[in-house]
Amino acid sequence: MADKGTDPEDEAREVIDTQLKEAGWKDLEEHGGDTGFEREYSTSSGPVDYALLVSGKPVAVVEAKEAQKDAYAALTQAKRYAQDIGTGENYAGRYGVPFVFTANSDEVWFQDLRQEAPLERKLRNFHRPEGFEQFLNTDYKAAKEWLEDTPIRDSDSDLWDNQFEAIQNIEEAIHQNKRRMLVQMATGTGKTRMACAQTYRLLKSGYVNSVLFLVDRNSLGNQAESAFKNYDVGPAMKLSDIYIIEQVEDGVYPENADIVIATLQGMYSLLENHDELVIPQDAFDFIISDESHRSIYGDWRVVLNHFDALQLGLTATPATHTLSYFNENWVYQYGYWQAVDDGHVVPYETYRIQTGITMDGLYYEDEEYNPEDLENKITVPSTNRLIAEEFRKQSGEDEKTLVFAKNDRHATELEKIFREVYSDKDDRYVKKITYTTDDPDGWIKRFRNQKYPKIAVTVDMVSTGVDVKPIENIIFIRPTRSAVLYNQMIGRGTRTCDEIGKEKFTIYDCIGIVDYFSETPPFNTYRPDGTVDEEKSGKKKRDDDDDDEIVVADDVQDHLEFSGYMFETEDGQELRPDDYVTHFERYVRQNRSEIEAIKIIMESPEALKRKHLRELNRKLQDEPEKFSEEKLQKAYGQEMTDIIGFITHALGDDEFPTTEDRVEKAFDAWIQDKDFTEEEREWLNMIQRHFVQEKVIKKEDFNRIPFSRRGGWRSAAKAFGGEEELKDVIHELNEEVILA
């Protein structure tokens, strides 16, 4: 017989003894008492290796296996002991204890037998006695019934439909005993609000008792803390009036809080940089990882793997690794374009600025540099200046703008150049905000809430999660090969902002980044992006990615090659203005006999009605090029021309009259040689102004302002000598304006 000290199973038990003691379980044989563990505990089918007792009552059995044996496979044996332990209890109709463990010297498996369909799970260690007491006091069946019986909108009547649907799907997954869930919602569509609502429901139901909300930087933690504390749960009642909500600050874990908000970095430090365990694995019942595509990478995964809790991942840009970590359990998806259609976020347009050097590179001091070498091996100040000057020409003066630089050195250079270009503005107009900036979080707050700065230059500090609703422009002077990061950066512009009447935002592409991602258009719901790099994981602060040996080509003069709007198709293709025009004119000619509005414009313009224009606009939007009057105005360079003018031009009219010019021309031609009274001319002036706005006029329009203020259809008919006479006027004017 092998010596006891060398027996593999005895060695495993020594390890398990140590693990149990580290988790707070006393050896009752050594220390006495009524809470701890007993070895070789008797059951009707033989002794089980360990029984865990709380207040003298067995609550779990532990089946020990040597290292070479599969601990997971031993769960069947452990459950047999749980059936035969004879405590007088009856969990799930057959078990005497609610919990079972199996362990060898390498791993620990756990199963809660009270669940209708209990799922086993692997743990880092054994639960504490305190954790078991909390488990025992949680009535999961009653909590699930509460969730089923309490309508989601009773908890929060102001939820958007997408938030409601996400919560509905999360709770359905919980009913199915899922432990990991992933929700993808486009930036700006209310992930945090949904998380607050879900947290409240789970706490209120009693399904969970403690919640951890993880973010990847301090500024996002502050935003989340404010959102949770101010979440309305009833008349004049906030979430913070019921539950304690605190952040992890200065390395201190607020163990009495019901909802803890922490950065990944802060939590990682607490878990890995202390000799003693600071936060036990059963400290939280529910973990929400915001921007979860970051939290699963590299060292950060330690944080999620440490805890035995329900896990909900939130992301706008999931990659393969994200989905894999959450067991392919993608419970809800809400993409960018759907959110645009629902009015929760704004669409974008692309403006391309190309210089000779950003297109072709340069030859400098006997060295050849490709465009990819810019701000990596060589910097050309005139290129950066040209971009800043061209941006000022094309953009509005008071629009909040985010500039993405290659690294901190580049950000400093861009800050100087933009300050020079905007030298007539307030000293706070342009500001670099990176990790090296004094009080960066304070500057982010000012950028979000105050008039200045208008232009923020960053590397990646403002690329994820920071909510600055007024941003109307995003300038890319920094390349990236990460689709996830690219989408996060663009996502800074998607939020609506009623205070400024924001209807869109503009991407200023100065380095061809839109072309690079043309096969994976922005905001696709899912990207099988298979590589992991520090840039995506957040482990590397890109601000510090400087090259001390960079060549400064300050004696090179760059020149502008192209500056103009680009038009993206559904499949991600980028069209220059002339190509967009070509596509549109080809579409009009090919469909001149198929689309009713075009046929009417050609054959009987007086019959054109609003419904025809609405149908025309719908068909144009349904094309891959998403044709619209606004885009055509930019493509043609004719901002005062309307859709009818563009169609008549596509059909052979060489002129580009503005809508106002076209209407005025039609009225002048029609009125010529006609004699009208002063009252009739007043009505005709109102009709002319209406044509400029609406393109056609019909009887119902006379019952709306401004016509209704003068008595509407009846008064107009009286002025023109009767209804038939007024109908003739309308018919003739509709025909004249269309043909003009």
Helices 140-149 and 161-175 pack at an angle, to 10 degrees, of 150
Query: Distance between CA atoms of 81 and 58, rounded to whole angstroms?
Result: 12
Residue range 401-419: mean pLDDT, rounded: 94
Find the mean pLDDT for residues 626-644.
83
Quote the number of domains for the chain: 5
Q: Are 193 and 270 within one domain?
A: yes
Q: Please check whether residue 517 lies inside any domain of the structure.
A: yes
Residue 665 CB partners (closer than 8 Å, separation 6+): 657, 740
Q: In whole angstroms, what is the distance from residue 568 CA to residue 56 CA?
A: 70
367 in a structural domain: yes
Cα(672)–Cα(229) distance, rounded to whole angstroms? 70
pLDDT band at 296 (very low <50, low <70, confident <90, very high): low
Residues 294 and 367 reside in one and the same domain: no
- Cβ 537 vs Cβ 300: under 8 Å: yes
φ/ψ (deg, to 5) at 51: -125, 135
Considering the domain architecture, whether residues 443 and 498 belong to the same structural domain is answered as: yes
Does residue 652 surpass a pLDDT of 80? no
Q: Which of 166-180, 424-438, 494-508, 569-583 has the lowest mean pLDDT?
A: 569-583
Share above pLDDT 70 across residues of the chain, in percent, rounded to a whole number: 90
Give yes or no: residues 118 and 206 share one domain: no
105 with 8, same domain: the answer is yes
**365 lies in some domain:** yes
From 339, 373, 404, the end of a domain falls on 339
Q: Which residue has the higher pLDDT, 297 or 157?
A: 157
- Is 142 within 8 Å of 105 (Cβ atoms)? no
Question: What integer is the mean pLDDT of 242-257?
Answer: 90
Tell me: cis bond preceding 453? Omega within 30 of 0 counts.
yes
Average pLDDT score over residue span 472-484 = 87
Does residue 675 form part of some domain?
yes
Instruction: Give the mean model confidence (pLDDT) for residues 334-350.
Output: 89
Both 536 and 627 in one domain: the answer is: no
Q: What is the pLDDT of residue 274?
A: 66
- Please state whether beta strands 245-247 and 551-552 pair in parallel, antiparallel, or not at all (unpaired): unpaired
Residue 646 predicted with pLDDT over 60: yes
Q: Is 34 inside any structural domain? A: yes
Mean pLDDT value of segment 251-269:
89
- Helix ranges (H only) for 273-425 are 292-295, 301-306, 320-325, 336-342, 356-360, 381-394, 408-421
114 and 193 both lie in a single domain: no
Rg (CA), the chain: 34
Burial 682-712 (b: 16+ CB within 10 A, else e): ebbebbbebbbeebbbeeebbeeeebeeeeb
Q: What is the pLDDT of residue 97?
A: 92
Asked which of 102-106, 209-213, 321-325, 354-358 is least confident by mean pLDDT, the reply is 321-325
pTM above 0.85, yes or no: no
Query: Which of 589, 621, 650 is where one domain is finished?
Result: 650
181 and 305 together in one domain: yes
Q: Is 199 left (phi over 0), alpha (psi -120 to 50) or beta?
A: alpha
Q: Looking at the predicted structure, is the pLDDT value of residue 740 above 70?
A: no
Q: Is residue 386 part of a domain?
A: yes
- Residue 540: pLDDT band (50, 70, 90) is very low
Which pLDDT score is estimated for 611? 78
In the predicted model, is pLDDT for residue 277 greater than 70? no
Residue 537 has pLDDT above 60, yes or no: no
CATH of the domain at 433: 3.40.50.300
What pLDDT does 534 receive? Answer: 39
Nearest one of 557, 560, 549 to 376, comparing CA atoms: 549
CA distances from 493 to 335, 369, 500, 564, 565 (A): 15, 32, 13, 20, 17
HEC letters along 662-720 = HHHHHHHHHHCCCCCCHHHHHHHHHHHHHHHHHCCCCHHHHHCCCHHHHCHHHHHHHHC
CA–CA distance, 25 with 37 (Å, rounded to integer): 6
Q: Give the mean pLDDT of the chain.
A: 85
Residue 728 pLDDT exceeds 60: yes
C-alpha to C-alpha distance for 237 and 129, rounded to whole angstroms? 35
For residue 535, what pLDDT is reported? 44
The secondary structure of 566-632 as a DSSP string is EEE-TTS-EE-HHHHHHHHHHHHHHTTTTSHHHHHHHH-GGG--HHHHHHHHHHHHHSTT---HHHH
Tell me the pLDDT band of 452, cut-offs 50, 70 and 90. Answer: very high
- Looking at the structure, tell me whether residues 372 and 512 fall in a common domain: yes
pLDDT in tens, 565-592: 888 887 777 888 889 989 998 988 888 8
Residue 706: asked if its preceding bond is cis (omega within 30°), the reply is: yes
Q: So what's the pLDDT on residue 28?
A: 92
Question: Which residues, in sequence order, are CB contacts of 384 under 8 Å at separation 6+?
Answer: 413, 414, 417, 477
Dihedral of alpha carbons 263, 264, 267, 268, sign: negative
Of 587, 703, 718, 574, nearest to 646 by C-alpha is 587
Distances from the Cα of 715 to the Cα of 145, 546, 679, 720, 726, angstroms: 65, 75, 10, 9, 10
pLDDT of residue 279: 86
Same domain, 698 and 724: yes
| Domain membership flag for residue 135 | no
Q: Which two tokens stand for residue 422?
A: 């905007």
Q: What are the angstrom distances between the C-alpha of 274 and each of 128, 277, 350? A: 19, 7, 49
Q: Mean pLDDT across the stretch 357-386?
A: 90
**Could you tell me if residue 109 is inside a domain?**
yes
323 and 236 in one domain?
yes
User: In what helix (H) or strand (E) does residue 229 lie, and over which residues does it extend?
Assistant: helix 218-229
Domain span at residue 59 reads 4-128
Euclidean distance between CA atoms 515 and 695, whole angstroms? 37
d(CA 532, CA 547): 23
pLDDT over threshold 50, residue 536: no
Report which of 36, 19, 26, 179 is spatially closest to residue 107, judged by C-alpha positions: 19
Question: Which of the listed residues 106, 128, 150 is the one where a domain comes to its end?
Answer: 128
Tell me the pairing of strands 560-568 and 574-575. antiparallel
- Label residue 298 by pLDDT band (50, 70, 90): low
Asked if residue 526 has pLDDT above 60, the reply is: no
Instruction: Return the higher-pLDDT residue of 74 and 135.
Output: 74
Q: Which residues contact 635 (CB under 8 A, 6 or more apart)?
A: 565, 567, 577, 578, 580, 581, 584
The CA distance from 514 to 233, in Å, is 43
Asked if residue 165 and residue 50 are part of one domain, the reply reads no
697: amino acid identity, one letter: I
pLDDT(147) > 90: yes
Strands (E), 159-210: 180-185
Tell me which residue of 241, 221, 217, 220 sits closest to 230, measured CA to CA: 241
The CATH number of the domain holding residue 115 is: 3.90.1570.30
